[in-house]
Amino acid sequence: KQTLLPLLKEEVSSFIFPCKPAVQRPERRHMVMELLRCIPLLLFLLFVCGLDHFIFTVLSVIQNHSFIEYSYQASHHLSVNVMGTSLMAQLLRGTIGALNTSFESEMETSNLVCLPRPTGMTRQQYLSTCLPLGLLALLCLAQVYPFRLRRAIAAFYFPKREKARVLFLYNKLLRQRKNFLHLQRGRVARQARQPPELGTVLLRWCRRRWPGLRRCLRLKCTLCGTPETPQHRPCPNPDCFALYCESCW
């Protein structure tokens, strides 16, 4: 509870607050890992769609540029003329004359039956193919909200375990905060031993020279670097120019 142990700014980023609608830092790391698992599926889908379009293009070129049409025309004329007026000539004209024939043939054919007839996928079909992957990515983004209910469900069925977890977390925060204060004190001490930069000296001189410009020439917190506000507190040592925000103080 905030009334029991207010969190520092550095500690807030390591916790998940269920009532916040935004995706928080611990959840964002897990969400990115889930989205990275969708990349192989996306690459496979792009490869399949590209291969389908390539095959359709090749078959369309074959269909448009491999069409061949054949045209065949033939004519046949047979005529037997028997001269004379004798009985044999008349007999031959009656028998061989029946062989006189005349016909013409014309045939057209093509390889249209052998050519491929490709059918390309429509835009709606492409969208239908990519829709499951889009839903999968959307579920990766939205799964962080159902995951927040896991702690509440576990606390409902195991209240003693939940109490032990809260006490462990509380003691862990106390140990981390103690180590944090020790590290920050050493950091401030090292920073105080170093000579101030030219920009910092110029900023301090302008603030002392023109106090009305303090709203524009604002300092930053020595620890977290937040801009100066009325709640910031300066170091009580007159020779120290360190400034701290309320939480760091």
Residues 120 and 237 in one domain: no
The CA distance from 122 to 227, in Å, is 56
Structure tokens at 32: 């990115």
Q: Which of 166, 191, 171, 177 is nearest to 243 (CA)?
A: 191
Residues 48 and 112 in one domain: yes
pLDDT at site 105: 82
Beta bridge mates, 234: 243
Residue 162 lies in a domain: no
Rounded mean pLDDT, 39-54: 93
Residues 149 and 32 in one domain: yes
Residues 121 and 236 in one domain: no
Which tens digit of pLDDT belongs to each residue from 7-38?
Answer: 777 778 888 888 888 888 888 888 999 999 99
Residues 137 and 210 in one domain: no
Residues 122 and 239 in one domain: no
Residues 128 and 50 in one domain: yes
Residues 63 and 150 in one domain: yes
pLDDT at site 208: 65
| Residue predicted with more confidence, 45 or 95 | 45
> Residue 95 pLDDT > 90, yes or no?
no
Binned at pLDDT 50, 70 and 90, residue 100 comes out as confident
Per DSSP bridges, beta strands 233-234 and 243-244 are antiparallel
Residues 214 and 135 in one domain: no
Residue span of the structural domain in which 115 resides: 22-71+107-157
Which of 89, 124, 157 delimits the end of a domain? 157
Cα angle for residues 172, 174, 179 (degrees, 5° grid): 95
Residues 50 and 131 in one domain: yes
Which tens digit of pLDDT belongs to each residue from 141-165?
Answer: 889 899 999 988 999 999 999 999 9
pLDDT at site 177: 80
How many domains in the chain? 2
SS3 call for 128: helix
Binned at pLDDT 50, 70 and 90, residue 186 comes out as confident
The CA distance from 181 to 174, in Å, is 11
Residue 48 lies in a domain: yes
Residue 64 lies in a domain: yes
Binned at pLDDT 50, 70 and 90, residue 210 comes out as low
DSSP 119: -
pLDDT at site 197: 66
**H or E element: which one contains 207?**
helix 198-209
b/e per residue, 67-81, with b = 16+ CB within 10 A? eeeeeeeeeeeeeee
Decide: residue 150, CB within 10 A, 0-12 exposed, 13-18 middle, 19+ buried: exposed
Structure tokens at 114: 């052998």
Q: Which of 214, 225, 219, 213 is nearest to 240 (CA)?
A: 219
The CA distance from 101 to 76, in Å, is 8
Contact 154, 161 (CB under 8 A): yes
Residues 143 and 228 in one domain: no
Which tens digit of pLDDT belongs to each residue from 122-140?
Answer: 889 999 999 999 999 999 9
Residues 152 and 36 in one domain: yes
Rounded mean pLDDT, 95-103: 76
pLDDT at site 2: 52
pLDDT at site 16: 87
